[in-house]
Amino acid sequence: MPIDITRLSQAQPFQPADHHGVGPVQLFGGEDYDGAVTAALSHYLPGGRADMSPVPTETLYIVLTGTLTIDAEDDTHALHPLDAVRLTASTPRSVENRTNLPASMLVIRPNPAAESANGTAGARS
């Protein structure tokens, strides 16, 4: 299929490990997904956080609304709407909403399942 559309109303919620006060939905991804990249929309409540842990693969974060603080490589950055971050595979990071307003972020990664199905080397999550 040359075009694949996910309506927000069809996006499936999921709960990643070590995330607290975060409500993500899969825009592209999940068990039966065979596309090359995954995309999730994560909503962080005030005080919501992803604990310090390494990202499984190269990861792009794009803040859509609110302010999120990322700690990585012994450095802390406040990210505002349309700020973007690229993390290489295995980079330890934490993300936290340190404000009193909700924040949303788009998370984009390669799909390790599609890479292994195609016979290419890829990181495992």
**SS3 state at 88:** coil
Q: Where are the domains of the chain?
A: 10-117
The predicted pLDDT at position 30 comes to 87
Higher-pLDDT residue of 1 and 10 is 10
The predicted pLDDT at position 32 comes to 86
Average pLDDT over residues 25-31: 93
Cα distances from 79 to residues 32, 52, 98, 119, 124, in angstroms, run 32, 17, 11, 36, 27
The predicted pLDDT at position 7 comes to 96
Dist. CA 71–CA 77, nearest whole Å: 7
Q: Are the CB atoms for 79 and 99 separated by under 8 Å?
A: no
Q: Are the CB atoms for 69 and 103 separated by under 8 Å?
A: no
Q: Which CATH superfamily hosts domain 10-117?
A: Jelly Rolls (2.60.120.10)
- Global pTM value: 0.88
pLDDT at residue 120 is higher than 80: no
Instruction: Kindly indicate the confidence band of residue 122, based on its pLDDT and cuts at 50, 70 and 90.
Output: very low
